[in-house]
Amino acid sequence: MFGFRNLLEPQVFSPLEETEAIANTIAFDKELNGMTADLESWISQRVSVAQSKRPDRSHSLLLTMIMLTGKCNAKCEVCYTAQREREKSLTWPEIKEIIDQCLKLGSRTVYVAGEGEPTLDPAFFQLVDYVKKVGTRLLVFTNGILLSNDNAALKQWGMTGDEMVKRLAESPVWIYHKFWSTKPTKNAELMGLDSTDTLPYCMYSLDSSKQIKMPLGLRRMLEYFPRDRVGVQVIAERRNAEELLETILPFIKESGVKSYIEPVIHSGRNFKNHSFDPPQDLYEKIQPYMVRQNCTRVAYLFAVHNNGFATPGISILPEFLEMVPGYQDLNLRNPDGTIKDIFTLRHTHPFLVKARYCIKGCLCEEFNLKVAEHINNGKVSVGRRECLKYEDILY
Ligand SMILES: C[S@@+](CC[C@H](N)C(=O)[O-])C[C@H]1O[C@@H](n2cnc3c(N)ncnc32)[C@H](O)[C@@H]1O
Ligand code: SF4
């Protein structure tokens, strides 16, 4: 009835599953790392999960986070990603191998938050078909341009946006569609689009017979998808905060779609930029509807950037990750091109292990800030290599 649930929360994982995956993760971190006294005390300070039974490797993670392409067809000023196409992007066989390994470790969902726009990745529909074949779930964030714009969709995939949505609806795919404004011109401004034609809007009638303007692709999703697989993502920023309160939140409530209402994360092109933050009074009104602030996901996920390097969080820029000691070991690709054993990497790379026990709100933003503070007294010069100690980066 009430739409303010994150698609990742109980609809996907029960609290029991979460607890079990976190407990098993900790048990293997201890076993494989010998657990230094330092790390042990970090854990006991930060996570209170009792581990009473034998750890089970096949239930040691829940989420497989794969970034897909860095390419994007929008230019949102606020975007936290690097949005760059990478020279050595993950190929479909590599993505499949990562998923297969994570499924064996208990993964229940493939999560594509995106380093760019996932629907532009050449492997996108192979992934959509594969999750159906192996019986797992796919959770995707999209800006929805291809789902609304038939010409762009035909060019990319040889099918219309409508056909894309129908095909997605046939697989166990959950989608968060960007819905930052009900006004096409405002939306084009927020997304840095050249014209409102790039993302066509249409009217949608709610049961109460109220009407709301929305991207055509979102309306198509409301038509073809079961309601519980549809979500809208909104960044609560200065330019849309009022509209979010007045129009978008009531729509979420009435339609029963899921929501992912986020505070502005200061990373990527929005690094250290607070100019898009909403005024305090509006922020406080929106805050109760926001996704959970104290994110524990890092404890039970395996995440990989589109360049094949493992990362502890979503919006940690690959450029910053490069400054971590042991960076090269985060590369999932062996020199012969095969994919490393994810279980071993996840529990033995000191950075991945330690990052898990630094859960404090958005790890990604904190991490980037720590790196920036460390280098050049706040002025980040990407490309300059310094050997950071974990303690310098993580609290
Ligand atoms: C980086 S995008 C990639 C997927 C797709 N291109 C999209 O925009 O939906 C993943 C999610 O992060 C959100 N996002 C981007 N920059 C953000 C920021 N600075 N703060 C909070 N969320 C942000 C996007 O709105 C999107 O929902
Ligand atoms: S938020 Fe998504 S759509 Fe916007 S620029 Fe970033 S990756 Fe592209």
Cβ of 71 less than 6 Å from ligand 1: no
Let me know if residue 5 belongs to a domain: no
Provide the pLDDT confidence category of residue 240 given band limits of 50, 70 and 90.
very high
pLDDT in tens, 346-355: 988 878 887 7
Let me know if residue 368 belongs to a domain: no
- In angstroms, rounded to a whole number, what is the distance separating the alpha carbons of residues 294 and 66? 22
Question: For 341-360, what is the mean pLDDT?
Answer: 79
Residue 48 token pair: 């209170």
Let me know if residue 377 belongs to a domain: no
Residues with CB under 6 A from ligand 2: 72, 74-76, 79, 81, 83, 114, 116-117, 143, 191
From the CA of 235, which ligand is nearest?
A: 1
pLDDT at 6: 46
pLDDT at 140: 95
Q: Torsion angle of alpha carbons 309, 304, 233, 263, nearest 10°?
A: -60
Question: For 51-58, what is the mean pLDDT?
Answer: 69
Q: The CATH number of the domain where 160 resides is what?
A: 3.20.20
pLDDT at 42: 57
Mutate which of 265, 273, 362, 364 for ligand 1 pocket (most atoms within 8 A of beta carbon): 265
Which of ligand 1's atoms lies nearest the C-alpha of 270? 19
Residue 354 token pair: 């330690």
Say which range, 73-77, 80-84, 207-211, 243-247, has the weakest mean pLDDT.
80-84
Q: Is the dihedral of CA 31, 341, 24, 292 positive or negative?
A: positive
Q: Which residue's CA is the closest to the ligand 2 atom numbered 6?
A: 79
Let me know if residue 1 belongs to a domain: no
Residue 139 bridge partners (DSSP): 111, 174
pLDDT in tens, 279-302: 999 988 988 888 755 556 667 889
pLDDT at 43: 59
Q: Domain limits at 325?
A: 15-359
Question: For 197-214, what is the mean pLDDT?
Answer: 94
Residue 168 token pair: 């997605």
Between residues 375 and 321, the one the model is more confident about:
321
Q: Which residue's CA is the closest to the ligand 1 atom numbered 5?
A: 142
Mutate which of 71, 73, 79 for ligand 2 pocket (most atoms within 8 A of beta carbon): 79
From the CA of 178, which ligand is nearest?
A: 1
Between residues 260 and 233, the one the model is more confident about:
233
In this model, does residue 336 exceed pLDDT 60? yes
Question: For 163-170, what is the mean pLDDT?
Answer: 98
What total number of domains does the chain contain? 1
Provide the pLDDT confidence category of residue 372 given band limits of 50, 70 and 90.
low
Let me know if residue 114 belongs to a domain: yes
Let me know if residue 7 belongs to a domain: no
Q: Torsion angle of alpha carbons 355, 109, 112, 348, nearest 10°?
A: 30
In this model, does residue 155 exceed pLDDT 60? yes
Let me know if residue 104 belongs to a domain: yes
**Residue percentage of the chain with pLDDT more than 70:** 77
Let me know if residue 206 belongs to a domain: yes
